[in-house]
Amino acid sequence: MNDNHISRRIFMSSAVAGAAGAAAFFTPGVFAEQLTLTPAQTEGPFYPDKMPLDTDNDLLIINNAITPAVGAVTNLSGRILDRRGQPIRNAVVEIWQVDNNAAYLHTKSDNYPTRDKNFQGFGRFETGSTGEYRFRTIKPVVYPGRQAPHIHVLVKVKGRDKFTTQCYIKGHPGNAKDFVLKAITDAKARESVIVDFISMPGSRIGELAAKFDIVLGYTAEA
């Protein structure tokens, strides 16, 4: 059994255990006055036009395939919060992004003929009581026509309009030139969608971790 399959098993089990552990270091509502609402961004034209056979939160392995996707393995996690810092449970979080060849899971995507068929391209996760979500994916790469690598994130909460934003890599030189990111004119709001992709200590396959909290503009009670 290779390291990637071992890591996948650990990740899938920690998606449940980690949500429970999150309560130990997060108290809802603390410092709520300091929260910055996450800015909405365009969904873009490349939400999958045909869903993959597998839509779980591990985008590196499709069903029980042996060959994983190519790319820098990244554990993307965060919390879905209301404007007071309260976690939002039962929120459906979806992500989609290009593969390591800069191709979306969309037939009109540039580079689609060279798409990595082992990359799921899309994933879905439902939050629990702590509002936490987790995905295993790759570090995004630049897509033709954009300057900043990014991951699209869509949040669905029952009774609310869907919310779409994008997650960017802190320190990437393309951030300063990317027209979609620059459209966020408030500096604090713009910084809220730019996150660190850091090395995970002890990872035998050089995995990265990125934490992206999303703060929505309403209260969970409402």
For residue 19, the model assigns a pLDDT of: 42
What is the DSSP code string of the chain?
Answer: --HHHHHHHHHHHHHHHHHHHHTTT--TTTTGGG--PPPP----S-S-SS--S--SSB-SS-TT-SSPPPS-EEEEEEEEE-TTS-B-TT-EEEEE---TTS--SSTTSTTGGG--TT---EEEEE--TT-EEEEEEE---PPTT-SS-EEEEEEE-TTS--EEEEEEETT-GGGGT-HHHHT--SHHHHHTTEE-EEEPTT-TT--EEEE--EE-SS-S--
Mean pLDDT of 104-111: 95
141 token code pair? 């790469």
Place of tokens 């050089």: 206
Q: Where are the domains of the chain?
A: 3-215
Phi, psi at residue 179, to the nearest 5°? Answer: -70, -30
**Domain 3-215 coded CATH 2.60.130.10:** yes
pLDDT in tens, 157-215: 999 999 999 999 999 999 999 999 999 999 999 999 999 999 999 888 899 999 999 99
Residue 34 is predicted with a pLDDT of 75
Query: Minimal CA–CA distance to 85: which of 221, 193, 215?
Result: 215
Predicted pLDDT at 138? 98
| Over residues 130-135, mean pLDDT | 98
pLDDT, position 204: 87
Backbone dihedral region of 44: left (phi > 0), alpha (psi from -120 to 50 degrees) or beta? left
pLDDT tens per residue across span 8-33: 544 554 554 444 444 444 444 445 45
Give pLDDT tens digits for 173-183.
999 999 999 99
Q: What is the pLDDT of residues 70-97, one digit of tens each?
A: 999 999 999 999 999 999 999 999 999 9
Residue predicted with more confidence, 47 or 31: 47
